[in-house]
Amino acid sequence: MYDFSELASSITRAPVQATETEMAYKFCGVADVTPMCTTNKAAFCVYWDNIEFFSVARWQAASDIESVTSTDTGVTLTFQNSEDRVVHEMRLELTVRCADTAGTAQITRRTGTPYTYIMQLDHPSGCKVAGGGGGLSGGSLFLIILLVGAFVYVVGGCLLNWKVRALPLGRDACPNRAFWAEIPGYTKAGCAFTWGKLRGLCGGSKGGAASSEAEGYGSV
């Protein structure tokens, strides 16, 4: 997931290399690059001497984006939706590279069909937003490691006991079976101990089965 809100807050201009033109652009939806380009719903507009113009691409909704390619270094968006009345079919290839600070857009033009503008921009907006689907969270990684470790522990321990210690496959071959069998009893006794202490703090009776089990663990 990427956050282009900073690039959508103002109109920016950059020269188109090897031409006498420049491009004005504003990301994400609002088509007010110029009154003329607004008519054509353009978010990217090319000028000659601030007089002649043509719209290159609109960006009013996510559906206006033809394709999205995400990499470790940034994201590339392609547009081919110009509504301008020009001879050439228009296409825009926009790459926003992940950077700590904003740079100046580098724009080139490739003639042919379609007539393609290639724009590259270094900007923090090209960095994936944390938690936006750019990878697994720390909690997810912990659960994966825990489950894989538990699987290896159980299966590996059973196979070891079966192969090395000649124990029959089944519960008897489970690693540290005696220890795990005692866990429910320890848990029950711990709960009883805690319950007895809480009742004591609240002025309740310490009698009964729960408190008698808890007393065997001393006092705090």
Give 146-179 pLDDT, tens digit per residue: 888 888 877 777 877 777 777 777 767 777 777 7
Q: Tell me, yes or no, if the pTM score tops 0.85.
A: no
Query: pLDDT by residue (tens digit) across 12-32?
Result: 999 999 998 999 999 987 666
Query: Is residue 44 predicted with pLDDT exceeding 60?
Result: yes
Q: Would you call the peptide bond into 15 cis, given omega within 30 degrees of 0 as the criterion?
A: no
Question: Looking at residues 201-210, what average pLDDT do you find?
Answer: 53
Joined together, the tokens standing for residue 216 give 């065997």
Beta strands in the chain (DSSP E): 12-15, 21-25, 44-48, 52-57, 67-70, 74-79, 90-98, 106-110, 115-123
Query: So what's the pLDDT on residue 210?
Result: 44
- Please give the pLDDT value at position 100: 94
> Which residue bears the tokens 């054509």?
40
pLDDT of residue 30: 65
> Burial, 57: exposed, middle or buried (Cβ in 10 Å; 0-12, 13-18, 19+)?
buried
> Which residues touch 110 (CB under 8 Å, ≥6 apart)?
116, 117, 118
Residue given tokens 């002025």 in the structure block: 203
Lowest model confidence (mean pLDDT) among 91-100, 107-116, 117-126, 198-207? 198-207
Rounded Cα–Cα distance for residues 87 and 80 (Å): 14
